[in-house]
Structures are given as C-alpha cells and as structure tokens.
A and B are shown apart, each in its own frame.
Chain A
Amino acid sequence: NAGVTQTPKFQVLKTGQSMTLQCAQDMNHNSMYWYRQDPGMGLRLIYYSASEGTTDKGEVPNGYNVSRLNKREFSLRLESAAPSQTSVYFCASSEFGWGGGEQYFGPGTRLTVT
C-alpha cells in the first residue's frame, strides 16, 4: 500500500519558470491538502480540497494554484516561481474533511528557486 505519493522528489527552478507538483493517494480519502515547510515555521497550509470537485485557499495561497483532478490526485502549480517559494512541499490526505480526522503525508518535494 503506497499511501500518499509525490513527484518529483527534488526540483530546481529559475525565477519565473513554472511547474506542477503531483500528488496521488490510494487510501480512498475524500480530502487532500498541500503544505509547505520552512525552517522554524512548521507546516503551513497552501490549499486544500475537502472533497472531489472542491478546492479552497489555506493560510499561504498566493503564487499557487491547485487542481483536484479526481478523488486520487491533487496537483499544485507554481505559475511563475519566486525565490520565496523555495521550500519543502508536502501533500496530505484524510478520510474526512474538517473538524477532525487523521492526515497522512507524502514524502515531500524539495524545491529550490534560484
């Protein structure tokens, strides 16, 4: 059972380039999330999808877009990368949406923007 998978594992971009981070889960979970992790900041929510067909902004959505492609897949797009977006990005999923429920994380994508 793979759980939550993310691709790529590492990426280096130049300022202004675009890219899409991919995430898939095989646990039949309804809700999916994108977080970024920066030193000393903990995990901050970028966007989430409570259920297939819905997406909402989290704490730090600026500069990002998301697509809930189907129940399994949730992608994060950087349209014009900036050095401030250098971070580690984690995708997570949970069976239920808000108010409770355990979130399970993928292995992360380490992104550097030069």
Chain B
Amino acid sequence: GQQLNQSPQSMFIQEGEDVSMNCTSSSIFNTWLWYKQDPGEGPVLLIALYKAGELTSNGRLTAQFGITRKDSFLNISASIPSDVGIYFCAGHLEYGNKLVFGAGTILRVKS
C-alpha cells in the first residue's frame, strides 16, 4: 500500500501566486524525486534529491529533502497557466528496492 502521504490532494491558485506541496512518511528515504504529469502524457522528472537537507531548484521550482529523511517539499513560484497538471513525489526507501509514489497533487490555475 501507499507509504507516502502527499498533500494537498488538489488546489486552485491564482496566476502569479506561489504554490507549496509536500510528501511525508513514517519511513526513511534515500532519494526523493518530483514529477509532473500533463493530461494524456507520462510523468516527467522535475527535480531529484539525494541528500538530507538538500535544496535544489529548477527554474521556478524548488524542492527540499527533509532533514529527517521522512519528507520532501516542492515549491513553485509565480505560477503560470502551464503549471497545470498533476505533481507526484516519489522516493526510494532506505531499506527496500522499490520507488514509492505519492497519490499526486492536482494543480489548477485560475487565470
């Protein structure tokens, strides 16, 4: 079953606003990955995080690997209409051999 809790499940935001979403777990992760999926397409990798405390940016996107290794955050600054889609977190457990996925955050932008 799901070992990652991703929140919020969905959100409407005003164009230009900043967005935050996060994934939490009771388990420890070695890697955090953030993906975006557009309608009818496959997930596209946005940011990969490999070390506790790591903060990485990709344009207007910034993600952090939580220092407890049990959570990760994704921030989108100054949202635009093309940010619409589903954002997934995923992580490799400390002990385990699978990539575990969150259920996704649906982002809708009010233009």
Task: Give the size range of A's interface with the partner.
Answer: 20 to 34
Interface digits, B38-66 against A, CB 8 Å rule (1 contact, 0 not)?
Answer: 00111111001010000000000000000
Candidates A98, A104, A106; contact of B98 at CB < 8 Å:
A98
Tell whether B67 is near chain A: CB-to-CB under 8 Å: no
A90 to B41, CA, bound (A): 10
Tell whether B111 is near chain A: CB-to-CB under 8 Å: no
Tell whether B97 is near chain A: CB-to-CB under 8 Å: yes
Number of A-B contacts (CB under 8 A): 53
Chain A residues within 8 Å of B88, by CB: 42-43
With A90-B43, A105-B42, A105-B43 in contact, is A99–B103 under 8 Å at CB? no
Candidates B40, B50, B103, B104; contact of A100 at CB < 8 Å:
B50
Interface secondary structure of A, over-half rule: loop
Q: List 22 A-B contacts (CB under 8 A).
A: A33-B99, A40-B103, A42-B2, A42-B88, A43-B101, A44-B101, A45-B98, A59-B98, A90-B43, A98-B96, A100-B30, A100-B31, A101-B31, A102-B33, A103-B45, A104-B45, A105-B35, A105-B42, A105-B43, A105-B44, A108-B40, A108-B41
A residues neighboring B (CB under 8 Å): 4, 33, 40-45, 58-59, 90, 97-108
